[in-house]
Amino acid sequence: MTLASKLPHIGTTIFTVMSRMAAEEGAINLSQGFPGFGADPVLLDLVAKYTREGFNQYAPMAGIPQLRERLAEKTQLTQGYFADPETEVTIVSGATEAIFAAVTAIVRQGDEVIVLEPAYDSYEPAITLNGGVPVYVPLSAGDFSVDWEKVKVAISPKTRAILVNSPHNPSGFVWAQKDLDQLAALIRDRDIYVVSDEVYEHITFDGLTHLSLGSQPELREKTFVCGSFGKTFHVTGWKIGYCIAPEKLTAEFRKVHQYLTFSTVTPIQYALAKYLEMPDRYLSIPDFYQKKRDLFAAGLAQTELLFRPSSGSFFQLASYGHLSQIGDRELAERMTRTLKVACIPISVFYSDKRDDKIIRFCFAKEASELQEGLNRLKDLSKIL
């Protein structure tokens, strides 16, 4: 028997490929998006406490009430809107699950879903596996802002949803109020839902703040806000996140979540609920990352790469087209094998794999590691 693949175009992700290559080569790994430093010991102690105290059996399907309540309080404090913990907040196994469950809840056979690209790699398979059709709209060259005229043109009677992401991976672009207004106007009076990937909600720079789609009453009615405690608290391996959506949407979302994972890791939910009682822990995250962004941008300015400092997320893009026309995958491989610094080629974030000669670095690393990586990048010309 041969199993006909439902995702024939999908192979090993570039993140796995580059991280593996970085390990083989002993390279500094600025490729995959995970922090190179530990979590707050207070949070780690809380997890130890709750595991030892016996909070190790299935949690309620929607998440423990305490965590949903604390998350609703955080949302009120940071985004100024009320989400009912009972009916509108669900704890899930990472934002990846939130996105998959939201897409599954809404997308039917033949429905079109607008995806702005470059895009995070989990969106397309979620759409395709549900019989949907991704309709790609490129972000603007240069600053990766949304070209709302292009989005307008992409909307058709078959459009069921739009998948958005701010702060944006890989570009670091952060939406402004005018973007939210444009989106609201475009889908007004249309049955179009929004899946909003907000995993970098706490990582913005230079005084910018993240505007959740949930904070806009008109958008809130149609939006699944997907978040990640893993990204926020430097614990990506815990795979724990959330979805906030209006009651009717949450009801459908939970039907899917119930049979994807049923519930999410119990002791970590208790630990996070306690930890969220200390808002300063998450309110201090922008400053923490600003220092890293500044250090990385200052160092990158000493290399031959061109870049605009990232406005959000823990990624920095850099372009090299003025130096060489080699492919971005080839450059990433040479950088890893010869300079011993791993990065991600941006072509992998495009459906047509277009190569604009741009690479992505993750700067969620210790200062010493960033510094060493930057020193090595000064020798870039040797590999071009």
Ligand X SMILES: Cc1ncc(COP(=O)(O)O)c(C=O)c1O
User: In terms of Cα–Cα distance, which of 175, 172, 170, 167 is closest to 199?
Assistant: 167
Omega cis (within 30) before 118: yes
The least CB distance from residue 152 to ligand X, in Å, is 24
**Chain residues 269-288 in contact with ligand X, contact rule CB under 6 A:** none
Dihedral sign for Cα 239, 240, 246, 248, please: positive
Of 29, 171, 236, 250, which one interacts with ligand X (CB under 6 A)?
236
Of 166, 228, 266, 311, which one interacts with ligand X (CB under 6 A)?
228
Show Cβ contacts of residue 58 under 8 Å, excluding neighbours closer than 6 positions: 262, 263, 266
148 with 201: CB under 8 angstroms?
Answer: no
The least CB distance from residue 382 to ligand X, in Å, is 31
For ligand X, give the closer residue by CB, 134 or 303: 134
User: In terms of Cα–Cα distance, which of 53, 154, 40, 33 is closest to 94?
Assistant: 33
Of 134, 214, 230, 312, which one interacts with ligand X (CB under 6 A)?
230
- Residue of minimal CB distance from ligand X? 94
> What string marks each residue from 27 to 46 as x (binds ligand X by CB under 6 A) or -?
------x-------------
Strands 358-362 and 315-319: antiparallel
226 with 102: CB under 8 angstroms?
Answer: yes
**Chain residues 168-227 in contact with ligand X, contact rule CB under 6 A:** 169, 197, 199
For ligand X, give the closer residue by CB, 275 or 303: 275
Determine, following the binding rule CB under 6 A, whether residue 88 of this chain makes contact with ligand X: no
The least CB distance from residue 94 to ligand X, in Å, is 3
The least CB distance from residue 227 to ligand X, in Å, is 8
Determine, following the binding rule CB under 6 A, whether residue 126 of this chain makes contact with ligand X: no
